Amino acid sequence: MSIYTYQLLKGVGLSEQRVLSVLPKIKVDSLNAGQIICHKGSQPEAWHHIVSGLVGAGIPQENGVITPINIFGPGTWFGEVAILNHRPLMVDCVCLTPVRILKMPLEQAVDAFENDADFSRHVARLIAWRTQQQSEMLILMRLGSPQLRVVLGLALFAEALHSSNSHLPTNELDDSLDIPVKQSALAAMCGVSRGIFSECVQHLAAAGWVRLSYATLALSKILVWHNFSRRHRQNRHNNAKPVMPEILHMFEEAAVSSPSLRGTQ
């Protein structure tokens, strides 16, 4: 793990001297699904890196379910806002699956942010990306149609599972991704009933964008999911309440505009 951690710390822009000083202070922890890493209103004590598993950051509901505005997958750091200030968290961070994490003490991360320029730039880009994503998801939860909440909720998993740094571009995407969370839990996380969720994913499956199993599902044609999400972010005149036929048409447009798929349509 020490070689992995060394390369990991170098990858976020820490200097050689900084890496060697931080490395002995990194801690490893294994957590169960449903376990809360950071509570809303608390002040984190570490910057976290996910070795394996999925973590959701979202608004806690009275029934104990969170409505996620960010999902963090393997290879992802999270909790970076605490590096900039010591204000309490606005969200819960919950393990959606069993999770193995590394923890960099917050004191070390803050010192690095103030003194290592490359690390500061990496953290700043990450914060900018996630702030945009959070703003969009908060607006979606308030104004979006149930069908759009389902689709963009699933798109969060596509972004979390394909890349260790969702704010950086990648050209290496698998054609499909299994979401290791039960459909009933996904429905609750998207803020819709189980019936509405099932109806939406049935339409997506019939169009070839989702593969269904008994309790879970997989996203197909991941490049299209990413393009759909990107186009939705860039379009200043989005329809906030589209119905499924309109959403499926948006997927077709995303497929046509995906460079690597143009020759296969």
pLDDT value at 114 more than 80: yes
Average pLDDT over residues 49-60: 89
Q: Where are the domains of the chain?
A: 2-134, 145-264
Please tell me the least confidently modeled range out of 84-88, 99-103, 167-171, 220-224: 167-171
Lowest mean pLDDT among 112-126, 165-179, 214-228, 251-265: 165-179
Q: What is the reported pLDDT for 18?
A: 94
The residue among 261 and 247 whose pLDDT is bigger is 247
* CATH 3.40.50.970 matches 145-264: no
Q: How far is CA 229 from CA 13, 36, 68, 208, in A?
A: 28, 28, 16, 17
| Structural tokens at position 133 | 């994503």
174: exposed, middle or buried (Cβ count in 10 Å: 0-12, 13-18, 19+): exposed
Paired tokens of 142: 């308030």
Q: How far apart are CA 157 and CA 180, in angstroms?
A: 10
What is the pLDDT averaged over residues 206-216? 91
Give mean pLDDT, residues 213-235.
85
pTM score, two decimals? Answer: 0.80
Residue 218 phi/psi, 5° resolution? -130, 145
Amino acid, single-letter form, for residue 98: P
- Decide which of 8 and 144 is more confident: 8
Backbone angles phi, psi at 172, to 5 degrees: -110, 95
Q: What's the pLDDT tens digit per position in 152-164?
A: 889 888 877 765 4
Whether the CB-CB separation of 107 and 43 falls below 8 Å is answered with no
Q: Which residues contact 73 (CB under 8 A, 6 or more apart)?
A: 50, 54, 157, 160, 161, 162, 163, 164
The pLDDT score that the predictor gives to residue 45 is: 86
Q: What pLDDT was estimated at residue 23?
A: 93
pLDDT at position 264, please? 40
pLDDT band at 101 (very low <50, low <70, confident <90, very high): very high
pLDDT tens-digit profile of 60-93? 877 777 778 888 888 889 888 878 877 778 888 9
Task: Tell me the backbone φ, ψ of residue 175, rounded to 5 degrees.
Answer: -75, -25
Across 100-114, 155-169, 226-240, the highest mean pLDDT is recorded for: 100-114
> What CATH number labels 2-134?
2.60.120.10
The CB-side HSE value for 89 (13 A sphere, CA atoms) comes to 24
Q: Are strands 99-105 and 66-72 parallel, antiparallel or unpaired?
A: unpaired
Confidence band for 260, pLDDT divided at 50, 70 and 90: low
Q: What is the pLDDT of residue 263?
A: 40
pLDDT for 181-203, tens place per residue? 889 889 988 888 999 999 999 99
Asked whether the predicted pLDDT for residue 170 surpasses 50, the reply is no
Cα–Cα distance, 26 to 4 (Å, whole number): 12
Q: Comparing 138 with 227, which gets the higher pLDDT? A: 227
The two domains 2-134 and 145-264 share their CATH topology (first three levels equal): no
| Strand arrangement of the beta sheet that strand 176-179 belongs to | 176-179, 217-220, 210-212
Question: What is the pLDDT confidence band of residue 41, given thresholds at 50, 70 and 90?
Answer: confident
Task: Please state, in angstroms and rounded to a whole number, the distance separating the CA atoms of residues 144 and 205.
Answer: 21
CA atoms within 13 A on the CB side of 19: 17
Euclidean distance between CA atoms 66 and 35, whole angstroms = 12
Residue 87 DSSP class: P
pLDDT at 162: 64
- What is the model's pLDDT at position 226? 85
